[in-house]
Structure 1
Amino acid sequence: MIKIDFLVVGAGFAGSIVAERLASAGRQVLIIDKRPHVAGNAYDEHDAHGVLVHRYGPHIFHTNAQRIVDYLSQFTEWRPYEHRVLAQVEGQLLPIPINRDTVNRLYGLNLDEAGVQAFFERVREPREPVRSSEDVVLNTVGRDLYEKFFKHYTRKQWGLDASELSAGVAARIPVRTNQDDRYFTDTFQVMPLHGYTRMFEHMLDHPNIRTELGVDFAAIRNKVKAGHIVYTGPIDAYYDYCYGKLPYRSLHFEHEHLPALAQYQPVGTVNYPNDHAYTRITEFKHLTGQAHAGTSIVREYPQAEGDPYYPIPRPENEALYKRYQALALQEPHVTFVGRLAQYRYYNMDQVAAAALKAADNILGVAQEVA
């Protein structure tokens, strides 16, 4: 039986941040991950052709939280990067989120900001109350834009109609009347200068942290005696699915290197709401700023089976999660944190914030006990 102060399950954002905070406070930490690498889904590496790629799809860092930037800046330098996305609709590549240029180019108009606002008011279908993602979009931009940009993309991404998803999913994507074509408008929009993996390696490079990769928690949970467990995996798996499986959406990634092309597409990501089985193509050199004679891209195919990536936001799923959460609240020596453990559709900065809060709470409790 191995004895350790803290066992952290998962070496992604949530687990690595908690591990670093605990280690820096003088605690002994064992962090494990069933994958052969750190950084979780943010893992990046140079492919066989020397292009830095994100193995599990694009990860774009953006936040308004100075505390998150200050914390992560201990482990990486940054490169400024503002993500832009185009959607292929009716033979055109149009800005998404929908903005003034999207409307003008799609409909052959020449509206100013006030004109675009009036256009939205004219075409919107008021919904009261707003319950679903379909309600959100129809209430904002009306049926034609909904069908061209959202309806089929949502079906591909989630395997559900927008009418079956909670309003919060569509609410993540704003609609603009100006020409701002940035996907995000956060104060800080940056990428780790040398990649995410390097940042995580620096974070976990601490004498109080032991990292073991290729280790499944289920295989060792009865072989390790930890004073406290920090668990970042799926909460239903921790409890052996006693109430049934929580629904997650998975992804299949098709990576491709194009040796004869310096640039494949004009922006980092192009969405395909109506064509093809994949939802989007990302070209990594836009994100990293890397100079290379060729380029590498990834196509994303959402699927039902596979590693869990996205909790599916529906009221019945939230109700099932609450049953697991009630079990978790009875475990004073286990902390559940992260997208899968908290069944939340978190951005990276939100995971980081949740992890820093969790570490503060654990250390507060530990100090009180001590």
Structure 2
Amino acid sequence: MFDYIIVGAGFAGSVMAERIATQLNKKVLVIEKRNHIGGNCYDYKDENNILIHKYGPHIFHTNSKSVWDYLSQFTDWEIYHHRVRAMVDGKKVTIPFNLNTLYEVFPTTLANKLENKLLEKFEYNAKVPILELKKSTDSDLQFLAQYIYEKIFLHYTAKQWKKNPEEIDEAVTARVPVFIGRDDRYFNDIYQAMPKEGYTKIFERMLNHPNIKLLLNTDYKEVAELRDDKFYLFGNEFKGKIIFTGMIDELFNYKFGELKYRSLQIKFETLETESFQEVATVNYPNNYDFTRITEFKKLHPVKNNKTVILKEYPEEFIIGKNTPYYPVFTDEEKEKYDRYKEYAANFKNIILLGRLAEYRYYDMDDIVERALEVYSSIIGG
């Protein structure tokens, strides 16, 4: 009945399903555990016509023209440049920390001195990881690095990951660098926009094809089974390819132990006011249990006298209790994942794709690009 089985209807699974169905004219079964498509990018309009991102804010940005062009088949865009503030010592300041931020937190004379030191040391518009800036031998830059580290990174990272910045992969802290420039946008990518009708509409159009059968509200283990090194669907051996986008440790029944993830407790509030904050997202690195507040009307503008905000409270991922969001990048977890990856190589018809299956952090554009690459190299090629 089917040539391919895809587990998961987020970006990884949906891109693969769309390509296989439209380009190869093959039959695809997409199995999704949740009662909706779109994975963590799922959004919906509430009773006040405000578009809500159910699993936290998703801001689209990319430097890849091929990714932009591909997704533009399924949506029109509203140009949007994300700007973020952080509450520091009772004042909202610009992040990523940049030359403008210097003048927001320090007296003008000191800010000017630090700006000159930074421009002597680094190129204009350079992005400097905080842990690299901390290695500076200049006493003024040491002071600045320690200030930024304590006020912006240390406590936010401790809440988000339950670790200090030095304990996690440097690629994580490098995602929000110190910016030696005056561009106060959170991202500097060429293409920055929000889908005009929301993300869910993208997935609906991707999966709307006669070659695609969608099973929602279905754990793949209800209809499929990995047994004796073979994959079974509805009790019969399945000899096609399986594209798995879920947790790799779950696929192999936690053979080498559970991989660690961080999760989020998400709390929505509907407020009787037109506007709550000046930008879509304000980070709270210190003094609060939550890490940030997002106001959705700033992402998808709509006129009414109410607004919806979202507070994010990081927590440990517990199987069956909450949602796995972020792989925990420690040497121990990487080593464990490598054992799963090596074991998975024994299954020639299983393709692992996505944040959970590959145990790595992907932005939306990254995973779309990765899925297109996998399609071209392994399937389409």
Q: Answer whether contact 1:232 1:337 (CA < 8 A) is retained.
A: yes
1:195 and 2:198 matched: yes
Q: Answer whether contact 1:137 1:170 (CA < 8 A) is retained.
A: no
**Does the residue aligned with 1:327 lie in a helix, a strand or coil?**
helix
Q: Which moved more, 1:112-121 or 1:324-333?
A: 112-121
Distance 1:34 1:83 in 2: 31
Give the superposition deviation at 1:261. Answer: 1.1
Q: Which moved more, 1:216-225 or 1:77-86?
A: 216-225
Q: Answer whether contact 2:130 2:178 (CA < 8 A) is retained.
A: no
Q: Answer whether contact 2:130 2:177 (CA < 8 A) is retained.
A: no
Residue identity in the other structure for 1:107: F
Q: Answer whether contact 2:355 2:361 (CA < 8 A) is retained.
A: yes
Flag structure 2 segments of 5+ consecutive residues without an equivalent.
122-127, 137-143, 226-232
Residue identity in the other structure for 1:238: L
Aligned residue runs from structure 1 range 347-358, under 5 A: 347-358=363-374
1:334 and 2:354 matched: no
**Does the residue aligned with 1:229 lie in a helix, a strand or coil?**
strand
Give the superposition deviation at 1:253. Answer: 0.5
Give the superposition deviation at 1:238. Answer: 0.6
Cα 1:297–1:322 shift into 2, 3 Å? same
Q: Which residue of 1 aligns with 2:229?
A: none
1:208 and 2:211 matched: yes
Distance 1:110 1:230 in 2: 58
Residue identity in the other structure for 2:310: V
Q: CA RMSD in A?
A: 2.0
**Does the residue aligned with 1:340 lie in a helix, a strand or coil?**
helix
Give the superposition deviation at 1:191. Answer: 0.8
**Does the residue aligned with 1:103 lie in a helix, a strand or coil?**
helix
Cα 1:110–1:184 shift into 2, 3 Å? farther
Distance 2:58 2:247 in 1: 20
Q: Which residue of 1 aligns with 2:135?
A: 139
Of residues 141, 163, 166, the one that matches 1:163 is 166
Give the superposition deviation at 1:179. Answer: 2.1
Q: Which residue of 2 aligns with 1:126?
A: none
Residue identity in the other structure for 1:352: V
1:60 and 2:75 matched: no
Distance 1:269 1:249 in 2: 20
Distance 2:331 2:50 in 1: 41
1:312 and 2:334 matched: no
Residue identity in the other structure for 1:319: E
Of residues 260, 266, 273, the one that matches 2:285 is 273
TM-score by length of 2: 0.88
Write out per-residue CA displacement over residues 320-369 of structure 1, whole angstroms, 9 at most, x where no aligned residue: 1111111122221011001111111111111111111111233246xxxx
Of residues 263, 269, 288, the one that matches 2:275 is 263
1:245 and 2:243 matched: no
Distance 2:120 2:174 in 1: 18
Distance 1:112 1:153 in 2: 24
1:173 and 2:176 matched: yes
Distance 2:112 2:62 in 1: 27
Q: Answer whether contact 2:32 2:215 (CA < 8 A) is retained.
A: yes
Aligned residue runs from structure 1 range 7-26, under 5 A: 7-24=5-22, 25-26=24-25
Of residues 299, 307, 311, the one that matches 1:299 is 311
Cα 1:226–1:253 shift into 2, 3 Å? farther
TM-score by length of 1: 0.91
Give the superposition deviation at 1:307. Answer: 1.2
Give the superposition deviation at 1:50. Answer: 2.3
1:288 and 2:300 matched: yes
Residue identity in the other structure for 1:241: Y
Q: Which residue of 2 aligns with 1:94?
A: 93
Distance 2:374 2:294 in 1: 33
Residue identity in the other structure for 1:20: E
**Does the residue aligned with 2:74 lie in a helix, a strand or coil?**
coil
Give the superposition deviation at 1:208. Answer: 0.5
1:219 and 2:222 matched: yes
Give the superposition deviation at 1:120. Answer: 8.3
Residue identity in the other structure for 2:377: N
Give the superposition deviation at 1:178. Answer: 2.5
Residue identity in the other structure for 2:307: T
Q: Answer whether contact 1:7 1:226 (CA < 8 A) is retained.
A: no
Distance 1:323 1:137 in 2: 35
Q: Which moved more, 1:15-24 or 1:165-174?
A: 165-174
Give the superposition deviation at 1:114. Answer: 8.1
Aligned residue runs from structure 1 range 80-119, under 5 A: 80-109=79-108, 115-118=114-117
Give the superposition deviation at 1:115. Answer: 4.7
Distance 1:291 1:64 in 2: 31
Distance 1:54 1:4 in 2: 32
Q: Answer whether contact 1:268 1:283 (CA < 8 A) is retained.
A: yes
Distance 2:195 2:113 in 1: 38
Q: Answer whether contact 1:104 1:110 (CA < 8 A) is retained.
A: no
Flag structure 1 segments of 5+ consecutive residues without an equivalent.
123-129, 366-370
Cα 1:134–1:86 shift into 2, 3 Å? closer
Q: Answer whether contact 1:236 1:324 (CA < 8 A) is retained.
A: yes
**Does the residue aligned with 1:23 lie in a helix, a strand or coil?**
helix
Aligned residues: 353
